[in-house]
């Protein structure tokens, strides 16, 4: 028996129970065939009029005219575009809610809601960069495992000189979380020996990632000294932990690469982001996140963007709409713009892995998920081909985060998919034109997630 389901006309599909209990509840889509879609693989290639067979939350095969599964469940995606779910490799979960920003929001419920928001926007994984107590991060990870329809959650131990690290406003909030919960958020290090010991302890606690801040915040903080970050990177390498860096200066980047770090969470793509630096990073397989939206979007009236509306409480909308600080059509400085365009061209020529990251949640009003789509638009504006921007948000992000099951449409990968009504390879803004999102083969109930906004 073969029956055809058009998702658009049958939104009730999720959760339906068929007679005999073959397809029921969370197993509703245990075996199904997506047909006739354009498949954006995630590695820079596209297959047109292809089918995708999914079983138990995994992609089983890709091909033309695949036979229907024995469940008979076939989803016609004629005219649609299917791509791997997006990945945000730099965010800070827990502090931003749908109403406000700050330490008071930091709890398991809000962390989970942040992940739901990412799911709504088609994300399959998020890396929270050094602002989560391990205990809460582990509870969230357990929630992700149990629900099986949330994006993967990765987290890091944040290291800096004692009492330093995040931007001063955020530092105060992480301190409040620490005070309120009694759980450690940041790990202060003072010398190479204690730094090595701290890394060993963190490895034993189960951390897979370290985040280090190498920044004096305009003279307001103590910068992590080279001998300390070298000790951190060396010990982390021995213990199998990845080290991601917040930094401001290209000169620091060269030394940090020599120290053995794995990636940069703020690229600072400017004149001093030289071919030599790019070549060194590329040779060492170090990635770079430009993180440009963080600076740009705070000058824009994003509260008036329909794509963000589902997550804007009245209060949040007001704070993000047009004001003396936020403009409907912000103007980008021509000099800075040409510097960035030149930097992007050097990155492309040098073959350096540019990875999508947003820093969402680190400051008030830099929303989860939405900012990822906007960041991709910035990459394309600066000269990247849309298909390469999508690669930075899928296979390249997955590779550098060690997410083996994500980032590609290929047999054995998780069926975490973003289905679009229009072609994002011709216009990157079409990533907004979301038809549906699947995580581990389960359709995300996007309207239910959006409906919780107060
Ligand atoms: Zn950050």
Same domain, 63 and 189: no
Mean pLDDT of all residues in the chain? 93
Please report whether residue 50 resides in a domain: yes
Q: At what angle do helices 108-120 and 134-147 cross, to 10 degrees?
A: 50
Q: How many angstroms is it from 312 CA to the middle of ligand 1?
A: 22
114 C-alpha to center of ligand 1: Å? 16
In this prediction, residue 344 has a pLDDT band, given cuts at 50, 70 and 90, of very high
C-alpha 286 – ligand 1 centre gap (Å): 17
Distance (angstroms) between ligand 1 centre and the Cα of 89 equals: 10
| Mean pLDDT computed over 235-242 | 98
Residue with tokens 């004001």: 323
Tell me the CB-side half-sphere exposure of residue 186, using CA atoms within 13 A.
Answer: 22
Q: How far is the CA of 244 from the centre of ligand 1 (A)?
A: 10
Token pair 């400085």: residue: 333
**Distance in Å, CA 42 to ligand 1 centroid:** 25
Does 108 share its domain with 215? yes
Euclidean distance between CA atoms 332 and 324, whole angstroms:
16
Kindly state the tokens that stand for 325.
Answer: 């600080």
- What spacing in Å lies between the alpha carbon of 372 and ligand 1's midpoint? 14
C-alpha to C-alpha distance for 27 and 429, rounded to whole angstroms: 33
Does position 15 have pLDDT exceeding 50, yes or no? Answer: no
Distance 304 CA to ligand 1 centre (A): 25
Q: Are 115 and 151 within one domain?
A: yes
Same domain, 397 and 423: no
Distance 266 CA to ligand 1 centre (A): 8
Q: Return the exposure string of 351-386: e unless at least 16 CB atoms fall within 10 Å of the residue's CB, then b.
A: ebbbbbbbbbbbbbbbbbbbbbbbbbbbbbbbebeb
> In angstroms, what is the span from residue 440 Cα to ligand 1's centroid?
27
Ligand 1 centre distance from Cα of residue 166 (Å): 7
Q: For 47-100, how does the pLDDT look when each residue is reduced to its tens digit (9 = 90+)? A: 999 999 999 999 999 999 999 999 989 999 999 999 999 999 999 999 999 999
Residue 167, number of CB atoms within 10 A of its CB = 17
The rounded radius of gyration (Å) of the Cα atoms in the chain is 22
Tell whether 453 is covered by a domain.
Answer: no
Tens of pLDDT along 157-189?
999 999 999 999 999 999 999 999 999 999 999
> What is the distance between the alpha carbons of residues 223 and 160, in angstroms, rounded to a whole number?
8
Q: How far is the CA of 307 from the centre of ligand 1 (A)?
A: 23
CA–centroid distance, residue 217 to ligand 1 (Å)? 13
Strand partners, 83: 418
Ligand 1 geometric centre to CA of 362 (Å): 6
Residue 91 Cα, ligand 1 centroid: separation in angstroms? 6
Which CATH number do you get for residue 220?
3.20.20.140
Domain containing residue 31:
3-84+410-448
Are 80 and 120 contained in the same domain? no
155 in the same domain as 24? no
Report the CATH number at residue 433.
Answer: 2.30.40.10
For residues 110 and 68, state if they share a domain. Answer: no
Task: Kindly give the distance from the C-alpha atom of residue 267 to the centroid of ligand 1, in angstroms, as a whole number.
Answer: 12
The answer to whether residue 387 sits within a structural domain is yes
Question: Given a cut of 90, is residue 394 above it in pLDDT?
Answer: yes
In a domain, residue 161? The reply is yes
Examine the domain organization and report whether 125 and 194 are in the same domain.
yes
Q: Is residue 454 part of a domain?
A: no
In a domain, 324, yes or no: yes
pLDDT at 23: 35
Residue 425, pLDDT above cutoff 50: yes
Residue with tokens 């495992």: 145
Percentage of the chain beyond pLDDT 70 is 94
- Ligand 1 center–CA 17 separation, angstroms: 43
CA of 225 to the centre of ligand 1 (A): 19
Q: Is the pLDDT of residue 17 over 50?
A: no
Token pair in block for residue 54:
């999914």
Ligand 1 centre from 129 Cα, in Å?
6
Cα-to-chain-centroid distance, residue 63: 29
Residue 25 pLDDT more than 90? no
Distance 368 CA to ligand 1 centre (A): 13
User: Ligand 1 centroid vs 351 CA: distance in angstroms?
Assistant: 24
The verdict on 152 and 44 lying in the same domain is no
- Whether residue 303 lies inside any domain: the answer is yes
Instruction: Give the pLDDT mean for 103-111.
Output: 98
| Reduced 3-state DSSP string for the chain | CCEEECHHHCHHHCCCCCHHHCCCHHHCCCEEEEEEEEEECCCCCEEEEEEEEEECCEEEEEECCCCCCCCCEEEECCCCEEEECEEEEEECCCCECCCCECHHHCCHHHHHHHHHHHHHCCEEEEEECCCCCHHHHHHHHHHHHHHCCCCEEEECEEEECCCCCCCHHHHHHHHHHHHHHCCCCEEECCCHHHHHHHHHHHHHCCCCEEEEEECCHHHCCCCCCHHHHHHHHHHHHHHCCEEEEEECCHHHHHHHHHHCCCEECCCCCCCCCCHHHHHHHHHCCCEECCCCHHHHHHHECHHHCCCCHHHCCHHHHHHHCCCCCCECCCCCCHHHHHHHHHHHHHHHHHCCCECCCCCECCCCCCCCCHHHHHHHHHHHHCCCCHHHHHHHHCHHHHHHHCCCCCCCCCCCCECCEEEECCCCCCCHHHHHCEEEEEECCEECCHHHHHCCCC
pLDDT beyond 60 at 284? yes
Number of independent structural domains in the chain: 2
Cα(92) to ligand 1 centroid in Å equals 6
State residue 416's pLDDT score: 98
Domain-embedded: residue 61 = yes
Indicate if 227 and 104 belong to the same structural domain: yes
Residues 328 and 347 in one domain: yes
Distance from residue 79's CA to the centre of ligand 1 (Å): 38
The number of residues in the chain equals 454
Residues 6+ apart with CB under 8 A from 63: 50, 51, 53
- Indicate if 339 and 414 belong to the same structural domain: no
Q: How far is the CA of 128 from the centre of ligand 1 (A)?
A: 8
């Amino acid at each position: 028996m073969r029956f055809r389901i058009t998702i658009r006309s049958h939104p009730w599909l999720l959760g339906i129970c068929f007679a005999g209990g073959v397809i029921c509840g969370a197993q509703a889509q245990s075996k199904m065939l997506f047909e006739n879609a354009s498949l954006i693989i995630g590695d820079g290639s596209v297959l047109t009029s292809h089918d995708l067979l999914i079983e138990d939350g995994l992609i089983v095969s890709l091909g033309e005219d695949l036979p229907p599964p024995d469940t008979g469940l076939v989803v016609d995606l004629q005219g649609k575009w299917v791509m791997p779910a997006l990945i945000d490799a730099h965010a800070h979960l827990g502090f931003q809610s749908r109403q406000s920003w700050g330490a008071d929001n930091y709890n398991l419920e809000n962390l989970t809601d942040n992940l739901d928001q990412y799911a709504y926007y088609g994300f399959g994984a998020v890396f929270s960069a050094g602002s989560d107590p391990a205990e809460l991060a582990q509870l969230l990870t357990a929630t992700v495992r149990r629900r099986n329809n949330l994006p993967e959650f990765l987290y890091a131990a944040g290291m800096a000189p004692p009492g330093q690290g995040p931007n001063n406003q955020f530092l105060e909030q992480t301190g409040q979380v620490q005070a309120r919960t009694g759980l450690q958020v940041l790990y202060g290090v003072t010398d190479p020996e204690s730094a090595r010991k701290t890394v060993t302890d963190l490895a034993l606690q189960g951390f897979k990632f370290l985040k280090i801040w190498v920044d004096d915040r305009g003279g307001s903080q103590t910068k992590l000294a080279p001998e300390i970050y070298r000790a951190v990177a060396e010990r982390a390498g021995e213990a199998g932990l990845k080290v991601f860096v917040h930094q401001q200066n290209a000169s620091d980047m060269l030394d940090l690469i020599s120290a053995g770090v794995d990636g940069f969470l703020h690229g600072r793509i400017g004149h001093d982001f030289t071919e030599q630096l790019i070549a060194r990073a590329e040779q060492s397989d170090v990635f770079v996140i430009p993180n440009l939206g963080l600076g740009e979007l705070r000058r824009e009236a994003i509260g008036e963007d329909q794509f963000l509306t589902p997550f804007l409480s009245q209060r949040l909308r007001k704070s993000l709409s047009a004001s003396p600080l936020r403009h409907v059509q912000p103007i980008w400085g021509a000099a800075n713009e040409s510097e960035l365009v030149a930097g992007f061209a050097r990155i492309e020529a040098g073959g350096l892995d540019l990875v999508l990251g947003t820093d969402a949640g680190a400051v008030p009003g830099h929303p989860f998920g939405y900012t990822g789509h906007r960041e991709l638009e910035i990459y394309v504006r600066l000269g990247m081909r849309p298909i390469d921007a999508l690669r930075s948000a899928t296979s390249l992000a997955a590779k550098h985060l060690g997410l083996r099951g994500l980032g590609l449409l290929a047999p054995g990968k998780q069926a975490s998919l973003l289905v679009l009504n229009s072609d994002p390879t011709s216009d990157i803004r079409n990533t907004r034109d979301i038809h549906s999102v699947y995580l581990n083969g389960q359709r995300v109930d996007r309207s239910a997630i959006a409906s919780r906004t107060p």
